[in-house]
Each structure stands twice: as C-alpha cells, then as structure tokens.
Amino acid sequence: MQHTFYKYQGTGNDFVIIDNRQDLFNKNNTALIAHLCDRRFGIGADGLILLENQGSLDFKMVYFNADGNESSMCGNGGRCITAFAKYLGIINNEATFEAIDGLHKSVIEDDLVKLQMLDVTQTQNFDNHVFLDTGSPHYVICKSDIEQLDVKQEGARIRYSKTYKNEGVNVNFVEKINDETFSVRTYERGVEDETLSCGTGVTAVALAMHYIGETEKNLITLNTKGGELKVSFEKKGDSYINIWLIGSATQVYKGEIEW
C-alpha cells in the first residue's frame, strides 16, 4: 500500500514527517521506522515525526530516532513540524502543541520558525563539561579547532562511557568565536553519529556558555555544519526561562512509499 510522506530539514537536521491524524501508522513497528529513516534502503532521515490530533491543542508531535525508538524532545523537529502544520492548514503562524516533554509554543515569522523550549531549572558544571537537560540530555564540552575533531569517535566514547551508557547522552563540542557566537558539532544518541545540527543541543550550548561565564549575552548565535541557529533566553535565579530556538525549517519534498 502506498503512503504519503514529507521530508523536512532544519539546518540540515532532516526528518520524515507523516500526517497521522487518522491514527493509521503503527508506532510500535520499530523496524519500519528504522527502515524509513535508512539512507540507503529507505527515505533517509535523522528521525521520523508523526503529527497527530491532541484535544484542544493544535497538534501532537511524536518523534522517533533513526534507530526506530521513540525519543526525547527534538528542537529542530519541533520547528519542522510547525512548518508542516502550516502547510497542512492546521495553523496560521502560531501553534501550541504537545511533545514528549510537555507543551510547546511556536511562531513562524517570515522564513524563521521560533520554538519555545521548556524552562531549565538545573545545570551541572563539572571539571571539564556541563550537563543539562533541554528536553533531551546534553553533555557540553569546550574544545579548540573542532573542525578537526573526530566527532563520531569522541562522541561515542562519552555516550557509551560508564556514566551514560544505560540512558545515553548527546554530546556537544563547542568552540567560542566571540561573546555572542559559538561553533557547535553534535553527536546524537539514537542516530549514533554526528548530525548537521541539533536543536536541543545548541540550546544546551547557549545556556551552558552563559552558565559558566563564557558569555553575558542572552541572544546567542550557534554555527552548526548545517547552518545558523539562534537561542534567546532569560536568567531567573538558578533557572533559565523564556527560552526560544530560532532558525529555518524547509520542506524538501513530498513523496509516496510502500509499506
């Protein structure tokens, strides 16, 4: 049977998105999801997103990693599904939707999609890295000359270390450009490789750099291999609130595939 799908990307972080408002997709079929995300035998993507109905909200976002397992929050995915909802006519330029970590608001302004992230109430600063959860768990470490870094090897070493091997962790390598600009490369669990960008990852980087005093700015530019993202936030006591992830989100193509 032929099924319609859509391919979206946000700064190179790419997703297969399916309109599942009729609840026809088998969310327990891990092998199918992994197949659809396979870059050689399927469509190819960092993850799969289902758009579903959710009561009085505009929609619900269900996100799966490329390995076929349902995952924690995906920031770029949240921006892409917002653009998809507008394409379907579900929303105009604003949305309130449910994701695995709770309610999110999003706004479309010109070519940018802004996603409000959940507040971050705890940031842990260790000797050589910062750990925080921005909807997904992130390990943030400063490095020099990150362009020469073997992100897959170094990221996997941390992700599968004794501390994180059970639940896994996303690993972000950061290089400071100036007080308001940082370069970021991210190893994502579930993908088990470097991705061109990670929305929750750059959010974690922006907050971590502010937390350890690398910047006093509250609007940070993050350069990823897939393009530029921005993160704005407010500091309230030990917490970060009113956090927004800002960047482009584009439909690449619409297609049909049999399963």
Catalytically annotated residues: 74, 198
Q: Which amino acid is at 43?
A: I
Token pair, residue 162, equals 């004794």
Token pair, residue 107, equals 């706004």
* Most distant CA atoms of the chain, gap in Å: 55
For residues 163 and 124, give the distance between their C-alpha atoms in angstroms, rounded to a whole number.
14
For residues 79 and 1, give the distance between their C-alpha atoms in angstroms, rounded to a whole number.
30
Q: 199-211 vs 75-88: helix axis angle to the nearest 10? A: 130
89 alpha carbon, distance to own chain's centre = 23
Distance between start and end Cα atoms, the chain: 6
3-state secondary structure of 19: strand
